[in-house]
Amino acid sequence: KNQVEQSPQSLIILEGKNCTLQCNYTVSPFSNLRWYKQDTGRGPVSLTIMTFSENTKSNGRYTATLDADTKQSSLHITASQLSDSASYICVVSGPGNNRKLIWGLGTSLAVNP
Amino acid sequence: SQTIHQWPATLVQPVGSPLSLECTVEGTSNPNLYWYRQAAGRGLQLLFYSVGIGQISSEVPQNLSASRPQDRQFILSSKKLLLSDSGFYLCAWSVSTSSSYEQYFGPGTRLTVT
C-alpha cells in the first residue's frame, strides 16, 4: 500500500533554533517527493521538489534531503522564525500522470519567541 | 504571473442543501485543475481532476460532482450535502506540460455542514 508517514506529529521549538522533520514513504514506483508548507486556514505552498536522482535541495532556510534507497526524506529548518509556524507536509508522487500524489498528514510546527 | 481564486472563503450550509464552489485561474492556459478536500486530522484527498474543458476524472465515489465549463474555471457541486462533506476544500492547478509537476493551490474554502 502506498503510504507517506511523517514524524513527529507536532513540534515546538524556540525562535532561532534549528529543527528536522522526517518523512518515510512506501510509494512505489517513485517519481518525486515534495515538501509543502501550509499555514492554518490557507492552501499549501511548495517548498521543494526532488526527483529520485536528487539527494538534497535548498530553498532559503529550508533544506530537504532524500534517500531513495531507504525511502526517507527530511526537511531541515535553520534559524527558525515565528513565521515558520505551520504544518509541513511531505508528498510523494509516482511516475506518469502527476495527479497521483500521496499526501502525508504533516508535522505541525510551532515556533515560540 | 499566475493567480488562483476560490470563493467563498467560508460557508455554512445545512444538511441536504446544494453546494457550489468556484475556482478560477488567471495567467495561464490549458492548466490541469484539481479539487482536494482536507478533513480534520487527515491528509489531502484528491476529489476530481481535469485536463481540459468538459474532461473530469473522479477519484472517489461520493455525492459531489465537478464541472469545467471554461478553460480556467473549475466548479465543485453537490445536490444534497451530507455532514461528512464538511472540510477544507482546495483547488489547485498545474502546467500540463511541466516536467516538475508542481501544483499551485488556492486559498481554500472552509465548508461546515450543520
Q: Choose among B42, B100, B107: nearest Cβ to A105.
A: B42
In the numeric block, the cell 476529489 is attached to B47
- pLDDT 10s digits, B74-103: 999 999 999 999 999 999 999 875 556 788
β partners of residue A110: A12
Q: Report which of residues A71 and A98 the model is more confident about.
A: A71
Cell of A1: 500500500
Chain A hits for B104, CB-CB cut-off 8 Å, are: 46
Is B29 in a helix, a strand, or coil?
Answer: coil
Distance from the Cα of B21 to chain A's closest Cα (Å) equals: 15
Answer yes or no: do B101 and A43 touch at CB < 8 A.
no
- pLDDT 10s digits, A16-64: 999 999 999 998 777 889 999 999 989 999 999 998 889 999 999 999 9
Question: What is the rounded distance in angstroms from the CA atom of residue B90 to the CA atom of residue B88?
Answer: 7
How much is the pLDDT for A112?
97
Check if the beta carbon of residue A53 is closer than 8 Å to that of residue A43: no
Chain A hits for B105, CB-CB cut-off 8 Å, are: 43-45
How much is the pLDDT for A21?
98
How much is the pLDDT for B14?
97
Question: What is the rounded distance in angstroms from the CA atom of residue A97 to the CA atom of residue B59?
Answer: 13
What is the mean pLDDT of each successive set of 10 residues along chain B, which is 114 residues long? 92 96 94 92 88 88 90 96 94 76 90 96
The chain A residue lying nearest B50, using CA atoms, is A99
Mean pLDDT of chain B: 91
Chain A hits for B94, CB-CB cut-off 8 Å, are: 98
Answer yes or no: do B105 and A45 touch at CB < 8 A.
yes
- A/B interface, count of CB pairs below 8 Å: 47
Answer yes or no: do B43 and A106 touch at CB < 8 A.
yes
- pLDDT 10s digits, A73-91: 999 999 999 999 999 999 9
Q: Quick count: other Cβ atoms within 10 Å of Cβ A3?
A: 11
In the numeric block, the cell 510523494 is attached to A92
DSSP assignment of A27-94? -SS--EEEEEEE-TTS--EEEEEEETT--EEEETTEEEEEETTTTEEEEEE-S--GGG-EEEEEEEE-
Q: How many residues does chain B have?
A: 114
The chain A residue lying nearest B39, using CA atoms, is A105
- Give the pairing of strands B73-78 and B104-105: unpaired
Answer yes or no: do B108 and A31 touch at CB < 8 A.
no
